[in-house]
Chain A
Amino acid sequence: MVSQSATRLECSELLVDYGAGPRALEGVSLSLRAGELCSVLGPNGSGKSTLLRCMAGLLRANSGAVSVDGEPLSKLSPRQRALRIAYVPQYLPAVPDVRVDDFVLGGRYAHIERWRGPRVEDRRAVEQALEQCDVGGLRERSLAGISGGQRQRVLIARAAAQSAPILVVDEPTASLDPAHQVAVFRLLSELRSAGRAVVVATHELGLASRVSTSMLVLLAGRVHARGAPLEVLTPSILREVYGPDLHIESRDGGVIVAPWARS
């Protein structure tokens, strides 16, 4: 039994209504402990990003609550929040022409005192994150001049440099080749075993099944299924969520998902 104090992030009964169309989220609860990695699954538009933005404190739910270590997220200042939660967006709305290492140093914003500037430990955290995410060779390149896949890893490096105990990651492998997809999930798994609480939205069912401690499946803004990976990734649930065209097979504690050729 994990003690109550180890619960890091708790969402209860979140409801988000953007005004137009159906509700983006309704009655979604999720709790995340240190050392857990929860994958949020679901088709496009099912509310994954909305849920993650609520968890990261970037979107205020219409009702329901998010708390970090027992404190309501809305009571924390942006800086306090950033010391506890790091967020990796799916993509950047604008890509600034800055050096990769300077960009990753941005992750240390909440740690850096205004009048002192970056210190040795900030530089060290940046270096460590760059190496950890396999982008050390890009440090002097411009963020605008590297490939989309490289940029995705730089974004994760920035979040790692933030050294927050909770990591909220939105579709980190969308533009990565298979090798780097594996590398990213391995990295998330390492961060989890080092004691961080990780929540990741993803479509990579196979990879997620290998590294997740739990899964949550959203469908049209509601929780459709939750539990351990092999409880969730069953043929019947996948059919309900993604339609009839997927074939799934358990192997070595994970799953393999392949398109099912219909005749």
Chain B
Amino acid sequence: MSSPTQLRRAWLWGAALCAALLLLLARSAALGPAGLRGAELARGMLAIFGIGEPLEAHRQAIVELRLWRGLCASGVGAALALSGAMVQGMFRNPLASPSLIGVTGGASLGAALGFLLVGGAAPALGASFAKLGPFLVPVFAFVGAAATTAVVASVAAIHGRASVTSLLLVGIAVNLCVAGLFAAIQYLTLAEWEVSKAILAWTFGALDDRSGAHVATVWIGLVLSALACPFLARELDLFRSGEEDAAALGVDTVRVKWLALVASSLAASAAVAAAGQIGFVGLVVPHLLRLLGAGSYRVLLWLSLPAGAVFLLGADVLQRTLLGDGVLQPGVMMSLVGGPFFLFLLLRQRRDIATW
């Protein structure tokens, strides 16, 4: 039976990806104009965890910013990839992704509302309210993401299966609604330039200027979401031949769909709350893993974690190496890379697509 060899290969891939991730984290920390040397970097890193003496204030701050950037990028990449793999399994459709069907958009909208409350209305509501900010944005993002997924699931899915056409159409509709509301919020906040700018910047995605709170947000969301994997992996494998077929084999399909909905929304919204709107990671990473032979969700869900982290952090390191710091926002970059890749996928499958 294939499982043992498949699993062994998956372990190898997982180990290779984790090694690559560590290298990228180190590279990401060393990259930049400040000219920090290895020993200095290591001292600064240890100081963050309370070991040894910190560097002088501004150099220490640079080390911390770079560490947060690396951890944030890897966490966001992993969360988006995991969310994508879950959404694809739930909708039984390899072209589904959190951004395509509007989950990322919904999370962004929620986050923007959170921003509005914190940034716009907070002074009026008092200083104690402003302290809620770091919690409010992720919570709002989660509610936005979960609500959008629920809408997509109920509108697009007939007998539990979302056809490609209905999924894409509902995704377009949801993204339009979200974009409209987003534009409305931006227009209304135009007078308050700072809030408006923050919301606009959100749509580009951001990995620079991250804090420990951002890192905590995405990693907590990621870990909570990943806890669902053991309860979804075999189930989503059986979903591949149809929901009723899985039910006949003993899968509690209602529970699986709810769990996948909550877990994927949690991962996507944590990513959005930490780094704004970054598309295509959730679509592309599971696809690349499938090309490498990870067809089973028992492998795909777990591998999407290190693969997503390597993908987004690698892209970040690459663009910083080639273009220097802060030239392109990650959301913009992913759209530039992801758009053509999506077209490539469609071209590869055009014979199948003709029959949709």
Contact = CB atoms under 8 A, between A and B. Distances in A.
Contacts of B253: 78
Interface string B98-127: 000000000000000000000000000000
B194 to A, nearest CB: 50
A180 B1 CA distance: 26
Nearest to A77: B252
Contact of A99 (B2, B247, B249): B2
A105 B3 CA distance: 10
Interface string B234-249: 1001101110110111
B211 interface: no
Contacts of A102: 1-3, 296
Contacts of B251: 78, 109
B161 interface: yes
B231 interface: yes
Contact of A89 (B237, B248, B250): B248
A92 B252 contact: no
Nearest to A168: B248
Query: Which among A103, A109, A126 has the highest number of chain B CB atoms within 10 Å?
Result: A109
B237 A106 contact: yes
Contact of A83 (B230, B250, B295): B250
A179 interface: no
A123 interface: yes
B248 A82 contact: yes
Contact of A118 (B3, B230, B237, B240): B3
A101 B250 contact: no
A56 B249 contact: no
Interface of A is mostly: loop
B69 interface: no
B249 A82 contact: yes
B92 interface: yes
B244 A89 contact: yes
Contact of B245 (A79, A93, A110, A139): A93
A103 B234 CA distance: 11
A126 to B, nearest CB: 8
Contact of B1 (A101, A109, A114): A101
A185 interface: no
Nearest to B230: A114
Given A98-B296, A101-B1, A105-B1, A89 B245 contact: yes
A244 interface: no
B249 A93 contact: no
Nearest to A117: B3
B241 A82 contact: no
Nearest to A80: B250
A94 B295 contact: no
Contacts of B2: 99, 101-102, 140
A107 interface: yes
A56 B248 contact: yes
User: Interface residues of A toward B: which range?
Assistant: 35 or more
A97 interface: yes
A87 B249 CA distance: 8
A94 B240 contact: yes
Contacts of A107: 249
A94 B236 CA distance: 13
Contact of B241 (A56, A58, A93, A162): A93
A6 interface: no
Given A94-B242, A96-B240, A110 B249 contact: yes
Contact of A94 (B1, B241, B248, B252): B241
Contacts of B231: 114
A226 interface: no
Interface in A115-170: 115, 118, 123, 126, 139-140, 162
B242 to A, nearest CB: 4
B46 to A, nearest CB: 37
A115 B296 CA distance: 17
Nearest to B2: A99
Contacts of A109: 234, 238, 249-251
A79 B256 CA distance: 13
A256 interface: no
Contacts of B92: 94
A110 B242 CA distance: 17
Contacts of A118: 3
A81 interface: yes
B234 A98 contact: no
A95 interface: yes
Nearest to A122: B1
Nearest to A79: B250
B177 to A, nearest CB: 30
A123 B2 CA distance: 11
5 nearest CB pairs, A to B: A82-B250, A110-B250, A96-B240, A93-B242, A87-B248
Interface of A: 56, 58, 77-83, 86-87, 89, 92-99, 101-103, 105-107, 109-110, 112, 114-115, 118, 123, 126, 139-140, 162
Interface of B: 1-3, 92, 161, 230-231, 234, 237-238, 240-242, 244-245, 247-253, 295-296
8 contacts: A78-B247, A89-B244, A93-B242, A94-B242, A96-B240, A96-B241, A105-B3, A106-B249
Given A56-B248, A109-B250, A109-B251, 12 more contacts: A78-B250, A82-B250, A89-B245, A93-B161, A93-B242, A94-B161, A98-B237, A98-B295, A101-B1, A105-B3, A106-B238, A114-B230
